[in-house]
Structure 1
């Protein structure tokens, strides 16, 4: 019989931290904890009834696509990253991220159950299985999770968290900026706040491993990442045209995509690819992307500050100070 002393099981010790970013990120994510059940989505029904059928169809497709991507991230993405953890605390952070990605996916079902009939919901989920553009990006990222290197998996995860979600985020942020669907948008703001931390944290872990590579290997993975981004952007522009052309929003959404693609590259420590900056994005949407808490009364409408106080997403400076 093997002695336990030969192969002791190691308890995680949060009083002995190897990488302080693990501790800071754990604290940030737990401070930000939320559930969709606390957001009064039914308060948006009056606005929903005033929207055109084209708008309702767009919103259903947008949230269906987001549900698919959050499902991918919760079921496959974060699990694939655990193979390369550096510390037990890093795995604990990944566990938190994985759970919250499941919360995100479930939140869209709460929106559907409030706004849509069962038949409409079935149609939305059938669409996610059949649309070539949403399936292409999901399967492309999934393939990397299955067969890519540890660094390639982190690149794919950051591109998903910091870039691919944002074609879907545009619509609810636009409606929020125009005084419509505030509670639906509240959920999106909560998700954005989480994804901000997820993308920055995973990008930080990428940079640690990347900086230890020989220069030629660094160049190889960098070229691979930019080629992947080009491929995903090309597909994302087609997806955006499919979703938004009928509303005339497509070109504005593409600016938003390019801006967030640059943010994804920044999370990986790379220079931006596109000339677009925050100043080029529709200011109504940029205002909506602010992650501060809403001033909702606790006993009527519960905003994203509902037991949390004011919690801001982690900024780049929070991480760079620990480099």
Structure 2
């Protein structure tokens, strides 16, 4: 008979303070898609041309596919390399919140679209060959035994691929509640990627210089392959729109490499509604880490009647 040993998590035994900090940031950032009044955007949505409705619908369906992959495969693949029990707890929340991010797309479609049209958007994403090739490429890397490489893949998907997909949605500023939903998704993403970037840097610090350099080269080659595919995917997304933004790749790739510690260079000075939103959310997340904005989850707080208003 095999003897199994289980150990309870004692959060007072701090092995890595960043685990505790990230747990508190994630729980303070908790939200649900059905609390965002997306239906209030219906009036402006109806004024958009069918071309732009299709662009936004397909972009959102792509977001759903990305976050669904992260919840079903990405985050679970990182548990094997956990350094602490608290790290697995953080990954559990990450997995759940990625599912919330996925569900939020359906919530948007329910508020703005007929079911038949929503199905067409999902079908477009499901059958888009380039998007499937991108996910297949990243999934192949996610199967690698190197946890550091898996963490890098998760971050690339959560930045490079997610940013290009949310861009058409964020650019339409009149869809204020849909943009709030995207902002919520990006806020969670900022915490995920900051945390995993930190864990990645700890993992590669344990490698020999040769192993370290080989991993960095592998990541840069992966980014080069991704760029060609993401450019093709973006062109297909904007196929019926005359103006196709090109600045998001340079920014998102630099953003990912900063998180991974591959580069210390400043992000390119590019202005767009999407990049502005990402920068604000990233700055807010960093400021919360160094201030009292993160609430102590162990503090006792009396319940109010309003807490039961759903």
**Range class of TM-score, shorter chain:** 0.7 to 0.9
Cα root mean square deviation, aligned: 2.1
Q: Structure 1's 249 and 288: CA in aligned 2 closer, same or farther, altered over 3 A?
A: farther
What is the correspondence of 1:5-154 to structure 2 with a 5 Å cutoff? 8-154=5-151
Whole-angstrom CA distance in 2 between matches of 1:56 and 1:74: 27
Whole-angstrom CA distance in 2 between matches of 1:131 and 1:238: 11
Whole-angstrom CA distance in 1 between matches of 2:213 and 2:143: 23
Whole-angstrom CA distance in 2 between matches of 1:276 and 1:267: 11
- Runs of at least 4 residues of structure 1 off by over 3 A? 284-292, 314-318
Q: For this pair of structures, how many residues does the alignment match?
A: 289
Q: Which residue of 1 aligns with 2:286?
A: 314
Whole-angstrom CA distance in 2 between matches of 1:100 and 1:75: 11
Whole-angstrom CA distance in 1 between matches of 2:15 and 2:147: 20
1:264 aligned onto 2:256: yes
Q: TM-score, normalised by structure 1?
A: 0.84
Task: Give the superposition deviation at 1:197.
Answer: 1.0
Whole-angstrom CA distance in 2 between matches of 1:291 and 1:189: 10
Q: For structure 1, which runs of at least 5 residues remain unmatched after alignment?
A: 293-310, 319-323
**Given that residues 162 and 264 in structure 1 are in contact (C-alpha distance below 8 angstroms), is that contact kept between their aligned partners in structure 2?**
yes
**Given that residues 173 and 289 in structure 1 are in contact (C-alpha distance below 8 angstroms), is that contact kept between their aligned partners in structure 2?**
no
Q: Which residue of 2 aligns with 1:168?
A: 165
Helix, strand or coil at the partner of 1:33: coil
Q: For structure 2, which runs of at least 5 residues remain unmatched after alignment?
A: 291-310
**Given that residues 172 and 185 in structure 1 are in contact (C-alpha distance below 8 angstroms), is that contact kept between their aligned partners in structure 2?**
yes
1:281 aligned onto 2:271: yes
Whole-angstrom CA distance in 2 between matches of 1:132 and 1:316: 40
Q: Which residue of 1 aligns with 2:304?
A: none
Task: Give the superposition deviation at 1:217.
Answer: 0.5
1:223 aligned onto 2:212: no
Task: Give the superposition deviation at 1:257.
Answer: 2.0
What is the correspondence of 1:163-312 to structure 2 with a 5 Å cutoff? 163-176=160-173, 180-250=174-244, 252=245, 254-271=246-263, 277=268, 279-282=269-272, 284-289=273-278, 291=280, 312=284
**Given that residues 28 and 314 in structure 1 are in contact (C-alpha distance below 8 angstroms), is that contact kept between their aligned partners in structure 2?**
no
Whole-angstrom CA distance in 2 between matches of 1:49 and 1:60: 13
Task: Give the superposition deviation at 1:245.
Answer: 4.4
Helix, strand or coil at the partner of 2:143: helix
Helix, strand or coil at the partner of 2:8: coil
Helix, strand or coil at the partner of 1:69: helix
Task: Give the superposition deviation at 1:100.
Answer: 0.2
Q: Which residue of 1 aligns with 2:301?
A: none
Task: Give the superposition deviation at 1:276.
Answer: 6.3
Whole-angstrom CA distance in 2 between matches of 1:276 and 1:87: 32
Whole-angstrom CA distance in 1 between matches of 2:168 and 2:287: 24
Q: TM-score, normalised by structure 2?
A: 0.88
Task: Give the superposition deviation at 1:291.
Answer: 5.0
**Given that residues 194 and 313 in structure 1 are in contact (C-alpha distance below 8 angstroms), is that contact kept between their aligned partners in structure 2?**
no
